[in-house]
Amino acid sequence: MSTATAPGSLPRYIVQRLLLIIPMVWFILTLVFLLMRVAPGDPVSASVGGRLPEAALDQRREALGLNDPLIQQYWDYLSGVLTLDFGNTITDNTPITQIVKENGGATLTLTISAMLLALVVGLPLGLIAGRYRDTPADGGIRIFGIVTYAAPVFYTGLLVQLLFLNVFSGWPLLGQSTPITEFTVETRTHILLLDAIIAGDGDAVIDVLKHLMLPAVTLGLLICGIFIRLTRVNVLQTLQADYVEAARARGIPERRVVRSHAFRNAMVPVVTIIGLQVALLLSGAVLTEKTFAWPGLGNQLITYIDQRDYAAVQGIITLFAVVVVLISILIDIVIALIDPRVRY
Amino acid sequence: MSTTGQDVLSVRDLRVWYGTERGAARAVDGVSFDLRPGEILGLVGESGCGKTTLGRGLLGLLPRGAFVDGDVTFKGKPMPAVASKEYRALRGAELGMIFQEPMTRLNPLMRISEHFEETVRAHHPGVSRERVRHAALEVLRVMGIPPTRYRSYPHEFSGGMRQRLTIALALVLRPAFIVADEPTTALDVLVEAQIIKILADLRREFDTSLLLITHNLGIVSEACDRVAVMYAGRIVEIGDARQVFRSPQHPYTQELLRSTISLSTTGLSFIPGSPPDLVDPPAGCRFHPRCPHAMRVCATQAPVPLEVAGGQRVECWLHGPESQVPPGGGEPLHVREELSVADEA
Amino acid sequence: MAVMRRVLAPFRETVGFSRWMLLAGIVIVAFFVVLAVGAEWIAPYGYAQKSADGVDFPKLAEPGGDHLLGTDRLFFDVWSRVVWGARTALEVIVLAVAGSMILGLALGLVSGYVGGWFDRILVLVMDALYAFPPLLLAIVFGFLLADKIGAGVVSAALSLTVVYLPQYFRVVRNSTISARESTYVEAARALGAPGRTVITRYLFGNVIHSVPVIGTLNAADALGTLAALGFLGLGIQPTDGADWGFDLSRALDDASSGIWWTGVFSGAAIVLLITGLTLVGEGLNETINPVLRKKRLQKIRREETIR
């Protein structure tokens, strides 16, 4: 288990974790690069071949550097990522950074609201299930958690859509807002909800929130199952901890024992888990966006997959992967700051 | 043997049974004793004889579903119902517990100061932080923990220091009675001596009675006023510590003392066999299968508690009463001879 | 035999909810295994059959009559697609989990036993793979393999193998290292037992407890990923096999016109099978993992204690 560490090792630990980013990101970049290059044939003709004359195709190849030696391409790719340049798409020759700028806001809105929803619902349910172990409440909550996690987002999305279509007809099912809102709200942050709030347009805010509800609930339900499960297991473990029994022996009221010993200590690993869920959250977001025609990065990714646009897929996937790695390492550092026992 | 008004704790026929798949395990099965203010009672016996269960039972810290029965009187009043608020209010304030492993008994996410604040406020809501600090530093001083460490986290302390911290936490509200369950088993020898000295000095500083559970007879002879020897859920011998050590009256106590290793030990002695199964204990005296002096009566009838010449209370047919031994019951039990023959073979 | 008994022992000891979960999970999974194995006999039609006895199936027919669960936009019988989908799903899952188990075991053993730089690099690689969002990894693989070897059971299984490999690698490597450093090995070496024997024995004991749990939970997860690949059009083509995820992506377009039967059933099949696998995994976890297992005390009545 954890051993006592001299104070002052925390900065060292943080530096260690930060340094680890370099090989991890490098490895992921290389992996994506290699995977994309083992692909057969030529990406340009795969995506836009037949639509453009041969000369234009060759021009595209040249522009994308596909005629350069592999090592040169690798170098360009790596140095590009370092300067936050993820390349251009083949099909419409748009910089990936531009796509990120325009569609990232929608993904951010969706993921953050889904995560908040999952936390608000999942944590209390997990705590209750762990506290009242083996009661009907525990059983019900666990089944709920297992089923919501088992249901693919596109299936939950389908059911939710069918429900709203038949019961609350008129509720917006697809997209981020009505076209009117889209046009009237001035673009400032590329986050529509935020823009609507800045503009002080109440109708637009309500419109966006209405559109946001179904995708956020759908994605939130998926993540919430994990929170329930992990919170519950951690509570079970901390409730059996020696310090909990010791607290009871000092006559601490049971409510307080549960709250400030069992629940609080169970939260530490849960924070780690939240960090690990970023990967799942992004994967879920890709599928949710497709299901609800939500104009985020995931939807863009799928569009480019359908168009066989290698450069776009490579760029967006690279970005996703780097974000996930960065967040997971950030979470490690946050843990080290929260937990006085600095481990490792 | 009568309950005098001045006893802090008086236990009569306490039984704690655990229901297991195979049947009820009689971890504590009819235990009676008294404890005077400031007195230290050592509780010794092999592992699995019910010492820990007895200690926890007195604090109401048994797993849910354990069966508890018997009369426990604390400061002249009957102990409240196990899961009641009143019992909870006694714990920490009047009843304390010191555990075996100090490393895991403090919440790693809470400062020492928070542990003290939580404990004091659980019993005296609304006490100011400053007053808690004052009381805590007082006990910490006795334990030899410098006031500068008051706001540290548990992981910043060594094992011995943590045990002193848990003792300080148990003492901060000056409880009248403390159970110390093998408080030094997890510590090294030098630290052990330190902790034992602290415990032995408790009565002078705090006037606290102590039930000191241990399997180390050396600790008992050093720190305890009286000693109770437990075997298979029962106290088989209880009395003044020096008297018991000088002239042990129960064969189990004799064997236990003989198997103690000391500097003057020349050969290793041990008690053949192992403690009995608590679900299905031997009939009669539970020690009879391992007893070198077992008689016929021992295998059929449970012995009667009896006060013997040295002032101890002993449960053994060797001390009578003769009137209850059936005819021929005093014959040696042959089972025992076969067993020892088998052991030597 | 003795191993079986040891593996089953915790099951006999578990009570209440965990046992119920495990049983329910086993029943559900068994149901799908039956569907998968007996698809030829259970499904009334083939997965890509558009007509029977010279009569074309109706398009988007409502459930009932000749088509228990209706037909979809491609004239396929929905119930038959659900049944055949079980076969596709189980094929992919079994291939993927077996693949990552075998690879993970081999790499983990070597890495843990050899140690040094080799170990460090492998750990880094596995950590990176683990940090990579599984679906994205599967998308990348599915995207590439779809062109190279064609989207199908093998390419789907292959992408899933890579996704789940790191977990087995970790478990096996860590146990190997602790086995290597444990006093048992020291003692056994001193007695002249070759290191290999000791490690296999020790590992078997350690790994056998965690691998079934990871395996079933991964199978559940893999099924979700497979469905997602199908949903994104990177899974199995409708003419090559029945893919629940693919059917769902089609059904989403039908939903807005009020047609519900094309997706609800294949989706329900996914949820049910994932739930079943998860129940088995969690149930196993609770029976095997001593931390989660709670010993329950039997009730004692007062009369019993008075003799």
Instruction: List pLDDT tens digits, range A78-111.
Output: 888 888 888 888 888 888 888 988 898 899 999 9
Chain A CB contacts of C282 below 8 Å: 146, 229
Q: Are C255 and A158 within 8 A, CB to CB?
A: yes
pLDDT of residue A111: 92
Of residues A307 and B57, more confidence is placed in B57
User: Given C127, C143, C270, which is nearest A155 (Cβ)?
Assistant: C270
Residue segments in chain A with a per-residue pLDDT below the cut of 70: 1-10, 38-42, 46, 48-50, 276, 338-344
> At C16, is the pLDDT very low, low, confident or very high (cuts 50, 70, 90)?
low
Structure tokens at C17: 């909810």
> At B1, is the pLDDT very low, low, confident or very high (cuts 50, 70, 90)?
very low
How many cross-chain Cβ pairs, A to C, lie less than 8 Å apart?
A: 156
Of residues C289 and C33, more confidence is placed in C33
Chain C CB contacts of A27 below 8 Å: 124-125, 128
Is the pLDDT reported for residue B230 higher than 60? Answer: yes
C291 domain residue, yes or no: yes
Cβ–Cβ contact C305 with B under 8 A: yes
Cβ C126 vs Cβ C165: under 8 Å: yes
C35 domain residue, yes or no: yes
Torsion over CA: B212, B57, A128, A251 (sign) = negative
The residue segments making up the domain with residue C272 are 2-51+68-306
**CA closest to A255 among chain B residues:** B122
User: Given A302, A313, A321, which is nearest C132 (Cβ)?
Assistant: A321
pLDDT of residue B258: 82
Q: Are B17 and C299 within 8 A, CB to CB?
A: no
Q: Are A249 and B106 within 8 A, CB to CB?
A: no
Distance of residue A97 Cα from the nearest chain C Cα, in angstroms: 19
Q: Are A317 and C275 within 8 A, CB to CB?
A: no
pLDDT of residue B120: 93
A142, A117, A96, A81: which is closest to A284 by C-alpha? A117
Q: Which of A128-137, A334-343, B300-309, C128-137 has the lowest mean pLDDT?
A: A334-343
Q: Are C232 and A38 within 8 A, CB to CB?
A: no
> At C182, is the pLDDT very low, low, confident or very high (cuts 50, 70, 90)?
low
C60 domain residue, yes or no: no
C183: part of which helix (H) or strand (E)? helix C183-190
Delineate the domains of chain B, giving CATH numbers in brackets. Answer: 9-231 (3.40.50.300), 252-344 (no CATH)
Torsion of CA A204, A207, A209, A215, to 10 degrees: -140
Cβ B299 vs Cβ B283: under 8 Å: yes
C58 domain residue, yes or no: no
pLDDT of residue B193: 84
**CA closest to A233 among chain C residues:** C292
In chain B the first and final C-alpha atoms are separated, in Å, by 45
Highest-scoring range by mean pLDDT, A95-109, A179-193, C125-139, C210-224: A95-109
C59 domain residue, yes or no: no
Cβ–Cβ contact B240 with A under 8 A: no
Between residues 168 and 207 of chain B, which touch chain A (CB distance below 8 Å)? 169-170
Q: Which of A179-183, B77-81, B269-273 has the lowest mean pLDDT?
A: B269-273
Q: Which DSSP symbol is given to C1?
A: -
Distance of residue C133 Cα from the nearest chain B Cα, in angstroms: 32
Chain A CB contacts of B153 below 8 Å: 340-341
Distance of residue C205 Cα from the nearest chain B Cα, in angstroms: 26
Burial of A261 (0-12, 13-18, 19+ CB in 10 A): buried
Share of chain B above pLDDT 70, in %: 91
From the CB of residue A258, how many other CB atoms can be counted at a distance below 10 Å?
20
User: Given B89, B109, B170, which is nearest A265 (Cβ)?
Assistant: B109
Structure tokens at A280: 């799942």
Distance of residue C54 Cα from the nearest chain A Cα, in angstroms: 34
From the CB of residue B256, how many other CB atoms can be counted at a distance below 10 Å?
21
> At C188, is the pLDDT very low, low, confident or very high (cuts 50, 70, 90)?
low
The mean pLDDT value for C63-91 works out to 79
Domain boundaries of chain A, sorted by first residue:
1-91+307-344, 97-306
Distance of residue A340 Cα from the nearest chain B Cα, in angstroms: 6
- Select the residue from B16, B26, B67 to test the C interface by mutation, using most C Cβ atoms within 10 A: B67
Instruction: Return the HEC string of A278-301.
Output: HHHHHHHHHHHHHHCCCCCHHHHH
Between residues 20 and 39 of chain C, which touch chain A (CB distance below 8 Å)? 21
Taking only the tens place, the pLDDT of each residue in B169-186 is 998 988 999 999 888 887
**CA closest to A230 among chain C residues:** C282
Q: Are A35 and C258 within 8 A, CB to CB?
A: no
Q: Are C300 and B64 within 8 A, CB to CB?
A: no
Is the pLDDT reported for residue B282 higher than 80? Answer: yes
CATH code at C38?
1.10.3720.10
Taking only the tens place, the pLDDT of each residue in C79-108 is 888 888 888 889 888 998 899 988 988 888
pLDDT of residue C6: 56
pLDDT of residue B336: 45
- Select the residue from A5, A10, A250, A338 to test the B interface by mutation, using most B Cβ atoms within 10 A: A250
Q: Are A251 and B122 within 8 A, CB to CB?
A: yes
Chain A CB contacts of C141 below 8 Å: 35
Chain B CB contacts of A2 below 8 Å: 108, 155
C62 domain residue, yes or no: no
- Select the residue from C12, C301, C305 to test the B interface by mutation, using most B Cβ atoms within 10 A: C305
pLDDT of residue A194: 83
Taking only the tens place, the pLDDT of each residue in B101-145 is 888 899 888 899 999 999 999 999 989 999 999 999 998 998 889
Domain boundaries A97-306, CATH class: mainly alpha
β-pair type (B305-307, B234-240): unpaired
> At B2, is the pLDDT very low, low, confident or very high (cuts 50, 70, 90)?
very low
Q: Number of structural domains, chain C?
A: 1
Distance of residue B70 Cα from the nearest chain A Cα, in angstroms: 21
Distance of residue A238 Cα from the nearest chain C Cα, in angstroms: 10
Cα A141 from chain centroid (whole Å): 24
Angle at C268 between CA C267 and CA C273, to 5 degrees: 100
Cβ B136 vs Cβ B164: under 8 Å: no
**CA closest to B67 among chain C residues:** C300
Q: Is the pTM of this model over 0.90?
A: no
Q: In whole angstroms, what is the distance from residue A97 CA to residue C242 CA?
A: 38
pLDDT of residue A217: 94
The mean pLDDT value for B279-306 works out to 83
Taking only the tens place, the pLDDT of each residue in C158-173 is 878 888 888 888 888 8
Taking only the tens place, the pLDDT of each residue in B5-36 is 578 899 998 988 887 777 788 888 889 999 98
The mean pLDDT value for B302-322 works out to 82
The mean pLDDT value for B291-318 works out to 83
Is the pLDDT reported for residue C15 higher than 70? Answer: no
Is the pLDDT reported for residue B69 higher than 70? Answer: yes
Distance of residue B155 Cα from the nearest chain A Cα, in angstroms: 5
Q: Are A150 and C278 within 8 A, CB to CB?
A: yes
- Using DSSP, state whether B123 is helix, strand or coil: helix
- Select the residue from B87, B112, B118 to test the A interface by mutation, using most A Cβ atoms within 10 A: B118
Taking only the tens place, the pLDDT of each residue in C247-270 is 888 888 887 777 778 788 888 999
